[in-house]
Structure 1
Amino acid sequence: MIRAKPIVLSLAVATLAACQRTPDPPASISPPPGLGDRVRVLSADAMVIDGKHVRLANAYAPQGIPDARCWAEATAAQATLAWVRAKIKDARDIAVEPAAGFDEFHRQLAVVKLDGFDLGQEMYEAGLAARRTDGPNGRFAWCEPISAKAAGGPTVNSLLD
């Protein structure tokens, strides 16, 4: 009988310990803010922000397939798109300042700022985009170095040439 008391006491302690659980974290903790639900990147210089289609007013990025005119432009488009997506993923705030005009697809031209920094200007300074005023129709001649300037090189108008 004397031994029964310690056994009962140890069973009671074990049962009490098993019933206790780790408390849930407070409901006030929320994930860090991001732009994933506000921005959909269509190309490096075109996106949908808060449901509105916009195109960068101050940068013209290389175009991807099927609009690229050569493989150099298509490759540059992939690198630029990855760079823009990383910038947007890391950003916490976005501001859209409409500029005058629309592009050929009737998207509003705008200056887009991520955390206060001009996305188009950063793309231009990083060598990933041209100014919209560069080249014919605002397009940078991504393919020119491998076609027009090459002695005897063919003229390249599209990837199908």
Structure 2
Amino acid sequence: MVEGDTALAQGLGIIDGDTFRLAGEVIRISNIDAPEMPPRSRCWAEARLARAATMELQRIRGEGTPGGFRITREGQDRYSRTLARVSYDGGRTDAGETMIARGMASPWTGRRWDWCAAVSDDPNGAAILRSPPSPIASMLEANR
């Protein structure tokens, strides 16, 4: 369901941490880059982070009800997805900025963040954290 530029939670399906579907339209949150879900993820760490980011966007969608997401369309990307700024809480809170603040996305700079560079493999089989956003580092550290 859509009322003007507000998408109610019932009519919205989360695809991943920066993309959702609404009435057949695929919408990408324009101001963030979230980790890619398998099979597009480049490593195990990105796949794990993608699942967490997807769940976080679902939580944000829940925080936005009953007002839903407010969508401000900005154009399309090279994959024909709608690019949009997305807010919730009656339009007062930017969903992308919330994802960044919660460590589930990085600001969109025109290039994908290298989520795999945050983790490397130790010769003994342990994961070594490099420099992901701090909440992501904590999640990876807890799941070693």
The CA RMSD over aligned residues, in Å, is 2.3
Give the total of aligned pairs: 113
The residue correspondences of 1:1-161 to structure 2 (distance < 5 A) are 35-92=8-65, 93=67, 94-99=69-74, 101-115=75-89, 116=91, 117-133=93-109, 138-147=111-120
Contact in 2 for aligned 1:38/1:50 (Cα 8 Å): yes
Deviations 1:94-129 (A, max 9, x none): 210112x42232111100111121101111122111
Please, which runs of 5 or more residues in structure 2 have no aligned partner? 1-6, 124-144
- Greater alpha carbon shift after TM alignment, 67-76 vs 121-130: 121-130
> 2 CA distance for matches of 1:126 and 1:146?
19
**1:91 shift after superposition:** 1.6
* Bigger radius of gyration: 1
Query: If the length of structure 1 is used for normalisation, what is the TM-score?
Result: 0.63
Amino acid at match of 1:113: S
- Give the counterpart letter for 1:131 in structure 2: P
Paired residue type of 2:78: E
Pick the structure with more strand per residue. 2
